[in-house]
Chains A and B, each alone.
Chain A
Amino acid sequence: AQSVTQLGSHVSVSEGALVLLRCNYSSSVPPYLFWYVQYPNQGLQLLLKYTTGATLVKGINGFEAEFKKSETSFHLTKPSAHMSDAAEYFCAVSDTGNQFYFGTGTSLTVIP
């Protein structure tokens, strides 16, 4: 069975500071891992995904995430937060079957 835990439903950072959003997963098979961003009243936009290969994945808007199998984690980072990064972020896992399993989301606030 697959599941995702996002630690911290709300994260606040100062503009220019490091962004770290945590995601831990459980999966009975090698997982595919995803981060999505959702702006208010918008759909989901794919930030990045891990399928196979290099465990450090770079995505759009300067975000990256590292797949750590030993820690069952896929934390999202960005070295320097921008005001436009304020949004809801969702981590998801798939076993290539019929479903995504989403975390409950982390709301990121960027303080000027």
Chain B
Amino acid sequence: QSALTQPASVSGSPGQSITISCTGTSSDVGGYNYVSWYQQHPGKAPKLMIYDVNNRPSGVSNRFSGSKSGNTASLTISGLQTEDEADYYCSSYTSSSTLVIFGGGTKLTVL
């Protein structure tokens, strides 16, 4: 089972909006509304930012939003802040023999 496909890097300026894509197949992203997004700062544990495509856990800023179209899920961060600079990973349930699959990660740079 290959990892979900994410861009290696994206960048934006403070106050701007950016979108990170996550492309899978009909066996994972496209087949279920079970996509989550994680933020990871260097040397830290990941943090859940979005679950079930477009739900925010308690305490996560509403600047973070998720969506899905076909086999591609997206994470949008609006009003970029310097503290948003981190690695972002998508994850999906999969009907393959492996239950859960992650994307390769996207490094967000806030210029």
> Is chain B a partner of chain A in the same complex?
no
Interface residues of A (CB under 8 A from B): none
Interface residues of B (CB under 8 A from A): none
